[in-house]
Amino acid sequence: MNSNEEEPRAKREVYFRLVAQIVMVLTLIGIIVTTIMIFTPPLGGNGYAELSVLTYNETDELYETDNYPTSVIYNQTEGLSENITLFFMVKNQYRIAKFFEVRLKIGLYSLIIDEDTFGSNTSTYFYEDHWKSKVLNREEQWGPNNQTEMTFNLNSAILTQLGYDANGYKIVFELWEFDSSENVFAFSGIFVYLTSFQLILVS
């Protein structure tokens, strides 16, 4: 009786060990697949880009998304404001290289910007001399550094075009991508802006 019971028991133990090994393998595969799904963009996706605006903390020598300027002194006699300095950063998370352009504009407080609407030459003043462009490889980051610095001011031409707004202005950074089929830059729908930026008028 004992020998007959030991033989099925041995077979059952082998079977249980085999099942346990299969479960462990399947669990490991499940963990790997889950990890890939979490950290890898969908295979059908084309990727995306990121745009950030930063300031430079001279004390700590760090770029940071904090301490943004909220106002600037504008000398009415000279028709010029003090300089404003900001930095941008672009990340290419597409699967291919992309040609980007960052455009700096300023508009009234009431200006509406969204994924489909960008600042036009009738709604915003273009700081065209400050626009910067660069080809970024896959997963390449552009800035923040002195190459992505934008130092600008408000002058009489801006106030003539936009008018004085007691509610303040919007400083807008737009990300544009080169469209090779049209041979022009096209708005990506990505933008960052500082709002309620005030002019302090002095004579």
Q: What is the pLDDT of residue 177?
A: 97
Q: Average pLDDT for consecutive 10-residue bins of the chain (203 residues)? A: 54 53 46 36 69 96 95 96 98 96 97 94 95 97 97 95 94 97 96 96 94
**Predicted local distance difference test score (pLDDT) of residue 12:** 54
Which residues have CB under 8 Å from 116's CB, separation 6+? 189
pLDDT at position 6 is: 54
Domain ranges (residues) in the chain: 1-40, 49-202
Q: What integer pLDDT is reported at residue 18 of this predicted model?
A: 54
CATH of span 49-202: 2.60.40.10
pLDDT at site 46: 85
What's the whole-model pTM score?
0.77
DSSP state of 83: P
